[in-house]
Amino acid sequence: MENMVTVYLFGKKYEVPDSLTIMEAMEYSGYKLVRGCGCRNGFCGACATIYRISGDRELKACLACSTRVENNMYVATLPFFPLVKERYDIEQVKPTEQIMMQLYPEIYACVGCNACTKACTQGLSVMQYIAYAQRGEYEKCAELSFDCVMCGVCSSRCPAGISHPQVAMLARRLNGKYVAPECEHLNERVREVQEGAFESLIEDLMGKPLEEIQALYNNREIEK
């Protein structure tokens, strides 16, 4: 028999195996997930979740697909958070500090509470990359926010109402368009992809275990 734990999903009590993730526990308990589930592997940010362990005052955040259940865990999912998303034409904006003042002026109301960083499901230094955005240091902001999955949990905890993921997205676009050096071989690589030159390599990757794929990604050679 598996070890069972007590979890509370949306206020209702269930007994589930302790080996399950929160998402698996929801399905085990009879929930049919039609929203708030995507890649199921910690990359898409669709299953943002908040929870609290009974007796603990700290409210925690995570992704339901990659977090195991704990005994006396009270769970509520956050499959969508209404981020402020400003419209702009990347061909018209420029990588100046003024563009952030124009599109996302709320970042200058940051009180430095660091609640965004504490809530981040990816463990990113969110407050720091917002500081880079404030100063127009878009290359640093882009690098620090690169692993953001746009789940919105950071913004849900922000007293200043900052839409951190959208600020980071703008910074990455500005960096890619204007700041980062152009990849000389990019057009050639795109042509090779379109012609199917990498199909066998992709098939080989799909057959590898996740840990090996992660190791290959983390140790890849990055063009300077």
47 — pLDDT class (breaks 50, 70, 90): very high
Token pair 């799909």 is at which residue? 206
pLDDT in tens, 103-159: 999 999 999 999 999 999 999 999 999 999 999 999 999 999 999 999 999 999 999
Query: pTM to 2 decimals?
Result: 0.81
- In the predicted structure, residue 92 carries a pLDDT above the cut 70: yes
The answer to whether the beta carbons of residues 129 and 140 sit under 8 Å apart is yes
Q: What is the mean pLDDT of residues 97-107?
A: 96
> Domains along the chain?
4-77 (3.10.20.30), 81-205 (1.10.1060)
Q: Is 150 left (phi over 0), alpha (psi -120 to 50) or beta?
A: left
- For the chain, what is the mean pLDDT? 93
Q: Is 63 within 8 Å of 49 (Cβ atoms)?
A: yes
**Amino acid 1: pLDDT:** 58
